[in-house]
Structure 1
Amino acid sequence: MTLVIKICGLKTSEAVEAAAAAGADMVGLVVFPPSPRHVDLAHGRSLAALATGRLQVVALTVDADDALLDDIVAALDPDWLQLHGKETPERVAAVKARFGRPVMKALGIAAAADLARVPAYAAVADRILFDARPPKDATRPGGLGRAFDWDLLDDLDPGLGYMLSGGLDPANVAEALRITRAPAVDVSSGVERAPGDKDPQKIAEFVRAARAAAAAAPAVARPRA
C-alpha cells in the first residue's frame, strides 16, 4: 500500500504549490481561530481551489457546530473533514451522515490507556489520526510539535486505517515509520520556518524522507510481537 502523506496547516499558495510539487497526497486547511495556521473561509476557498485536482483537501475543525461546518463545506468543498476536538463517536457519525464526506478523527495519545477509545471511533470514522495529547494548559489540541511514544501503537489492529501525527519532521519520519509501519503520516510544525509559515524545502525533504522510508519498510521494519 502506498504511504499517504498529508501536509497540514497551509496558509499560502506557495505552500500548496510546494506540497503538490513534493508529491504529497493531502493538504490540511485549519479553520480554528486560536491556531496560528487558521485561514478564513474566503482565503481558504482560494487555497482549496488551487489544490483541487492535485491534492486531497482536508478541512480541520475543532468542536465545530453544524452551522460552521455548513459554511466550511460550502466554501472549501473539502475531500475530508478532520475533527480535532472533543467530538464523541456519536458526533463523528452525525457529521459523516450530514455531510456525506469521509471523516478523520484525531485522538490525543500520551499513554496506553488513551487507546481504549479507538474501537468506538474506528467504528464510525474513516480514518483515525493519532496525535500527541496536548498539555492541560494548551490553547489548541494539535500543531504543537510534540511527539508521543510510537511504541504505544504496537498492539493496534493491523487493519486499522490511521494516520500518524505529532512532532514529525524530515529528520524523524523515517524512524517513526520504521517503528509504527503507519499507512499515513501528517506533518505541520515540522515543515515550518515559524508557526504557520511553511518552508517549501522542508516540505520536499519530509516527503522525500517519508517515501524512502516507506519503500524500505519491508527490509528494515521492526518485527512485531
Structure 2
Amino acid sequence: MSGPQVKICGVKDIETALAAARAGADFLGFVFFRKSPRFIQPEKAEEIILDLKEASFEEGFALPKLVGLFVDAGEKELSEAPTLLTHFQFHGHESAERCRELGEEFAVEIIKALPVSEPDDVLKASEFEGAADIILFDAKPPPGAGRPGGHGVSFDWSAVSSYEGETPFILAGGLTPDNVADAVASQKDHSGFVGVDVSSGVEDAPGKKSPALISAFISSAKGA
C-alpha cells in the first residue's frame, strides 16, 4: 500500500497491534509515560511485540517499525524499554544533544515531537537537524493539560509550510479517519512530509482502540 506512512500510537494489546499491522500501519507506538491513559508496562509491550513478530512471520504481513514514547525519561526508564524497539519518540524537553546521544547509546532512530500552534513554533525543528531522524509536529496541548499529547486537538496544518529543514516530518494532533485525507493533501507540495500519526482519533474511549477506526484511518491516509 503506497501513500504516506502511518503511525498508530498508544497500542496496549495484541488485538490492536494485529489490527494495525494487518491494515498496513508502518509504525506502532507504545507509550511509556505513566500519566497517559495509553501507558503500558515495558514487559507487556515486549510480549505484544514478540507475539506480533510471530504473527508477521506466519501470516506474511510486514512487521511495522516499533516506537517507544517517552517524556523526559531517565536512563533507568529507557534501559527498561523493550529490546526490539526501532525508534524512541521524545515528547518532553529533550535537547538535540540528548536526542543524539540516546540514539547512539540505544542504537535506535529518534523521533522528536514538537508542539505547534503557529508558524514560529515550527522553527524550533532546526535545532534537531542531525539529532533526530524524524520530526513529529503535534498540536500544543490545552492549557493545564497533564501530558504533552493524545488530546485529540489539531492545529492549522498550513503552519508547517514554514519548515525548511532536511529532517523528514510527520503530522499529528487531532487526526481522525474523517480529516486525515485533508491533512495529507495539505502537505502534498512539501518535500519533507512523510506521514501521519494518530492515537485518540482511532479510539472508542481513552486508551481503547477500535480496529474498524484504525483500518479506516489507514485507508483514508494512504488513499489521499
RMSD: 1.4
Structure 2 residue matching 1:27: 3-state secondary structure: strand
Which residue does 1:184 correspond to in 2? 195
Which residue does 2:73 correspond to in 1? 64
Instruction: Quote the sequence identity (%).
Output: 38
1:198 to 182, 185, 209: 209
Structure 1 residue matching 2:167: 3-state secondary structure: coil
Deviation string 1:170-206 (CA, Å, 9 cap, x unpaired) is 0000100111233111000000000000000000000
8 Å Cα contact 1:41-1:76 kept in structure 2: no
8 Å Cα contact 1:51-1:57 kept in structure 2: no
Deviation string 1:80-110 (CA, Å, 9 cap, x unpaired) is 1111111111211111121121010000001
Which residue does 1:133 correspond to in 2? 140
Which residue does 1:10 correspond to in 2? 11
Between the two proteins, the alignment pairs up a number of residues equal to 211
Q: What is the rounded CA distance, in whole Å, between the counterparts of 2:116 and 2:75 in structure 1?
A: 27
Structure 2 residue matching 1:154: 3-state secondary structure: helix
Q: Where in structure 2 are there 5+ consecutive unaligned residues? A: 57-62
**Does residue 116 of structure 1 match 2:136?**
no
Which residue does 2:59 correspond to in 1? none
**Does residue 77 of structure 1 match 2:99?**
no
Write the mapping of 1:35-74 to structure 2, written as runs, cut at 5 A.
35-52=36-53, 54-72=63-81
**Residue 48 of structure 1: how far off its partner (Å):** 1.8
Deviation string 1:147-179 (CA, Å, 9 cap, x unpaired) is 011010113227430111000010000100111
**Residue 55 of structure 1: how far off its partner (Å):** 1.4
TM-score, normalised to structure 1, is 0.89
Q: What is the rounded CA distance, in whole Å, between the counterparts of 2:72 and 2:205 in structure 1?
A: 26
8 Å Cα contact 1:84-1:107 kept in structure 2: yes
Q: Where in structure 1 are there 5+ consecutive unaligned residues? A: 214-225
8 Å Cα contact 2:123-2:163 kept in structure 1: no
**Residue 209 of structure 1: how far off its partner (Å):** 0.5
